[in-house]
């Protein structure tokens, strides 16, 4: 049973992810962040619901749109921000940036710029847990577009066959870059694909953090007990463009407006108010606390040194 503290911690994490990504959009527009960033604003209920049932020693593999997934798994905002800035105090000493951030300490086996690239890597950690006989679970996040990659099908098949402790979590925002779901697949519910591999497939409302958590709890518990993988599809919405700076000319202006009606944060906030777990003044306090955390993280990142040339060949295979 969840208590008030659990509810508030999930709510706070969702707000933290949203505000942090809004700040990233702003900083990116100022030209301070190298490379590309992909924000997950509107999708916060998925990583928060899923990671709320994970242990610190469980693994996740996150995507190119994986800031929320990494934060929900527990990494420190300051070192996360330093990584996005490409600075020495970042989790990967500035080499990974937004799209390849990893942290052994938090079981984050890596975001991935290759669509579907994290799926077979997750198979590896899940295989390791089974082989070593421990009960660490791996959650592999990916988008709807990634379900058309060969890696997705090969990995589901092997994970099913070997009964691996793996949860395949499709964060379905209805778009693969500039292509809507109806143009890249005939399926409406992508969880149906689980059937081909003989594993359970579930579709949930990915804008409802408690529904996501409930489904994730079942899938993670199955995996932990050695009962094998699950495909969990969480349907949500991408509020912004594919990448920061994408003007979304390919998308109907009405749709861009309408998806905001499904705001997972507002929805959870309303529920917590009804449950008397949250008051308007608490909302303000949480916002102020998060603003301070983000200000501190940005200052930390901006003061962190740029890696020197001597770092180029360190921690890489040559
Ligand atoms: C193997 C591969 N093919 C194509 C691309 C270009 N690309 C980057 S993101 C993306 C769409 C991914 O869509 P989805 O998996 O639904 O994730 P989302 O961006 O919606 O989070 C594509 C095609 C890539 N990075 N890697």
pLDDT tens digit sequence for 157-176: 999 999 999 999 999 999 99
Q: Rounded mean pLDDT of 11-31?
A: 98
Q: Using a cut of 0.95, tell me whether the model's pTM lies above it.
A: yes
Q: Give the model's pLDDT for residue 318.
A: 67
Asked if residue 199 is part of any domain, the answer here is: yes
**Per-residue pLDDT for 123 more than 80?**
yes
Q: Are 165 and 222 in contact (CB under 8 A)?
A: no
Residue 80 located in a structural domain: yes
Query: If DSSP codes are grouped into helix, strand and coil, which group holds residue 248?
Result: coil
User: Is 118 domain-assigned?
Assistant: yes
What is the rounded CA–CA span in Å between residue 117 and residue 114? 5
Does 196 map to a domain? yes
Q: Which of 261, 191, 270 is closest to 232 using CA atoms? A: 191
Q: What is the span of the domain harbouring residue 53?
A: 4-304
- Tokens 């603003």 correspond to 291
User: What is the number of domains present in the chain?
Assistant: 1
Q: Tell me how far CA of residue 285 lies from CA of 9, 23, 278, 281, 282, in angstroms.
A: 13, 18, 11, 6, 5
CB 13 within 8 A of CB 209: no
* Spacing, Cα 243 to ligand 1 middle (Å): 11
Question: Which of 119, 142, 177 is the best mutation target for the ligand 1 pocket, counting ligand atoms within 8 Å of the beta carbon and taking the most?
Answer: 177
Mean pLDDT of the chain: 97
pLDDT digits (tens, 9 = 90+) for 52-75: 999 999 999 999 999 999 999 999
- Report CA(246)–ligand 1 centroid distance (Å): 14
Rounded to the nearest angstrom, the distance between the alpha carbon of 33 and the centre of ligand 1 is 21
User: Which residue among 145, 146, 243 has the greatest number of ligand 1 atoms within 8 angstroms of its CB, and so is best to mutate?
Assistant: 145
Q: Compute the average pLDDT of residues 93-112.
A: 96
| Rounded distance between C-alpha atoms, residue 61 and residue 103, angstroms | 10
Would you tell me how many other CB atoms lie within 10 Å of the CB of residue 79?
Answer: 20
Q: Which atom of ligand 1 is nearest to the CA of 144?
A: 16
Report the pLDDT averaged over residues 73-100.
Answer: 97
Residue 87: which CATH number? 3.40.50.970
What is the predicted pLDDT for the residue at 315? 87
Banded model confidence at residue 142, pLDDT cuts 50, 70, 90: very high
CA-wise closest residue to 269 among 280, 260, 258, 259: 280
Any domain includes 288:
yes
At 180-228, the pLDDT tens digits run 999 999 999 999 999 999 999 999 999 999 999 999 999 999 999 999 9
Residue whose pair of structure tokens reads 């951030």 in the numeric block = 101
Residue 117 lies in a domain: yes
- Of 192, 126, 113, 189, whose CA–CA distance to 155 is shortest? 126
- Return the residue whose CA atom lies nearest to atom 21 of ligand 1: 143
What is the DSSP code (8-state) at residue 260? G
41 C-alpha to center of ligand 1: Å?
A: 17
Structure tokens at 6: 């659990």
Q: How many CB atoms lie within 10 A of CB 86?
A: 22
Residues framing ligand 1 (Cβ under 6 A): 63-65, 113-115, 142-146, 173, 175-177, 242
Chain-centroid distance of CA 27 in Å reads 21
Location of structure tokens 């847990």: 129
In a domain, 10, yes or no: yes
Q: What angle do CA 109, 111, 114 make, to 5 degrees?
A: 120
19 CA to centre of ligand 1 in angstroms: 24
**17 within a domain of the structure (yes/no):** yes
């Amino acid at each position: 049973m969840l208590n008030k503290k659990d509810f508030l911690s999930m709510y706070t994490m969702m707000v933290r992810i949203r505000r942090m990504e809004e700040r990233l959009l702003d900083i990116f527009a100022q030209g301070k962040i190298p490379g590309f960033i992909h924000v997950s604003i509107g999708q916060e209920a998925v990583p928060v619901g899923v990671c709320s049932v994970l242990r610190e020693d469980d693994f996740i593999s996150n995507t190119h749109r994986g800031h929320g997934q990494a934060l929900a798994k527990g990494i420190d905002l300051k070192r996360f921000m330093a990584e996005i800035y490409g600075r020495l105090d970042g989790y990967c000493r500035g080499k990974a940036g937004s799209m390849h951030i990893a942290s052994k300490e938090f079981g984050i086996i890596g975001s991935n710029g290759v669509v579907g690239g994290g799926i077979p890597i997750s198979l590896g950690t899940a295989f390791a847990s089974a082989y070593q006989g421990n009960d660490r679970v791996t959650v592999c996040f990916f988008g709807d577009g990634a379900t058309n990659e060969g890696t997705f099908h090969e990995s589901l098949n092997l994970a099913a066959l070997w009964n691996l402790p793996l949860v395949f979590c499709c964060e379905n925002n209805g778009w693969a870059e500039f292509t809507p779901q109806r143009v890249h697949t005939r399926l409406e519910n992508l969880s149906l694909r689980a059937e081909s591999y003989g594993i359970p497939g579930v579709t949930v409302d990915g804008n409802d953090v408690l529904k996501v958590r409930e489904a994730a709890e079942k899938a993670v518990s199955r995996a932990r007990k050695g009962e094998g993988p699950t495909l969990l599809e969480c349907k949500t919405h991408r509020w912004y463009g594919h990448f920061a700076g994408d003007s979304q000319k390919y998308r109907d202006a009405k749709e861009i407006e309408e998806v905001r009606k499904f705001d997972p944060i507002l929805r959870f906030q309303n529920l917590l108010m009804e449950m008397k777990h949250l008051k308007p003044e608490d909302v303000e306090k949480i916002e102020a606390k998060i603003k301070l955390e983000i200000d501190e993280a940005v200052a930390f990142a901006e003061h962190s040194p740029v890696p020197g040339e001597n770092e180029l060949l360190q921690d890489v295979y040559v």
